[in-house]
Amino acid sequence: MKKYNFNAGPCMLPREVIENTANQILDFNGSGLSLAEISHRAKDFQPVVDETVALVKEVLDVPEGYSVIFLGGGASLQFCMAPMNFLKKKAGYVNTGVWAKKAMKEAKLFGEVVEVASSAADNFTYIPKNYNIPTDIDYLHITSNNTIYGTEMHKDLDAPVRMIGDMSSDIFSRPVDVAKYDCIYAGAQKNLSMAGVTIVIVKDEALGKVDRPLPTMLDYRTHVSKGSMFNTPPVVPIYTAMENLRWVKANGGVEAMAKIAKQRADMLYGEIDRNKLFRGTVKEEDRSYMNICFVMNDEYTELQQEFFDFATSKGMVGIKGHRDVGGFRASCYNAQTIEGVQALIDAMKEFEAKH
């Protein structure tokens, strides 16, 4: 039976990216060695890093004066690395859920943290708007997409200060005005690669402004100056990122990704709104295109497990909602197909007809 992968992350990747990675693991560039066995200093691997950096810059239209680096440790490590490198006295954070709160917690180790806005009182079912942003903060930190609740900032904020963005779950799904940010970071395992690498885009001239001593590996300048080769980088995850960015570019870049993302989301939210069994959980204008959350309508809550089993029997994988929201979550990252979304919609319709 055909499986439709709606995992929230690690998640679906384009099949050709998967197959090319597997092939290179068997034999890298016809060298007779595996991609997993080559030195990161090998002359065949430097072009992989170079192309991946170039593709990130091209696909996201990164302005001059920014560096792209690849690190281990996940976005969670960036929750402390970003303030270590950028927080002088005071930073502002927009609290849009668990990941934003975790980022705030780490920042408090390095300075004063102002929660400039929060949707906590409504269980993060919307993106705060119309709040004051202090102008005496070193940066404003935002989480552009919130996987757990299914909310998303569909365009970059107009802030009177520099921004730092955790874009782990919607990077490469839409154009970003990188010039507004001193730092953008993202764990790879949504729209970029397999788990094991984190991409960081930093504005070079914003680095080196803090007084605290920084451990070498936690200083972005270390990795910028060595082109992500200060120590052994995660070779295979970087290779897969390159393949995935080639796929994004070949399929029209982030403008095309954004268009298809909206198409998928419109289809699925349309069915959620139409189908009497289900309802969305997020304020309409803030609905994520990446993580589409829905629950059973009040009079049908007892059907939740039955729908889960039914959808599973139709090939859906990973649609269980996060425990903080309940119900269902269909993650639709770049590699998600219209066919997959339609299969889920068909299952929802068929289940409705049964009840």
Q: Which stretch binds its own copies (CB under 8 A): 33-41, 56-64, 142-150, 247-255?
A: 33-41
CA distance 196 to 130: 37
Are 48 and 227 spatial neighbours (Cβ–Cβ below 8 Å)? no
Q: How many Å is the maximal CA-CA distance in the chain?
A: 65
Q: Of 138, 156, 166, 170, which is the active-site residue?
A: 166
Q: Contacts with its own copies in 157-186 (CB under 8 A)? A: none
Is residue 75 a known part of a binding site? Answer: yes
CA distance 355 to 350: 9
φ/ψ of 195, rounded to 5, equals -65, 145
3 binds its own copies (CB under 8 A): yes
Q: Contacts with its own copies in 236-255 (CB under 8 A)? A: 236-237, 240
Is residue 135 a known part of a binding site? Answer: no
Residues 202, 235, 258, 272: which binds its own copies (CB under 8 A)?
A: 235
Give the angle 4-286-320 at the CA atoms, nearest 5°.
Answer: 30
Go through 203-235 and write b for each residue having 16 or more CB atoms within 10 A of its CB, e for each that does not: beebbeebeeeeeeeebbbbbbeebbbbeebbb
**Whether residue 247 lies in the annotated active site:** no
Instruction: Write the burial class of residue 158 (CB in 10 Å: 0-12 exposed, 13-18 middle, 19+ buried).
Output: exposed
Residue for token pair 């068997």: 26
Is residue 323 a known part of a binding site? Answer: no
192 binds its own copies (CB under 8 A): no
23 binds its own copies (CB under 8 A): yes
**Whether residue 298 lies in the annotated active site:** no
Minimum CB separation of residue 354 from its own copies in Å reads 25
- If the CB atoms of residues 80 and 265 are measured against its own copies, the closer one turns out to be 80
256 binds its own copies (CB under 8 A): no
Minimum CB separation of residue 31 from its own copies in Å reads 7
257 binds its own copies (CB under 8 A): no
CA distance 256 to 251: 7
Q: Which helix (H) or strand (E) holds 296?
A: strand 291-296
Q: Taking Cα atoms as reference points, which of 18, 30, 31, 166 lies closest to residue 101?
A: 166
Strands (DSSP E) found in 1-153: 4-5, 66-71, 90-95, 112-118, 140-143, 145-146, 151-152
**Whether residue 266 lies in the annotated active site:** no
Is residue 189 a known part of a binding site? Answer: yes
Q: Contacts with its own copies in 300-319 (CB under 8 A)? A: 317-318
Residues 37, 58, 112, 346: which binds its own copies (CB under 8 A)?
A: 37
- If the CB atoms of residues 232 and 313 are measured against its own copies, the closer one turns out to be 232
Residues annotated as part of the active site: 99, 166, 190
The site for its own copies (CB under 8 A) is made up of 1-3, 5, 7-13, 18-19, 21-23, 25-26, 31-40, 42, 71-77, 79-80, 84, 102, 105-106, 109, 187, 189, 193-198, 213, 215-218, 230-237, 240, 317-318
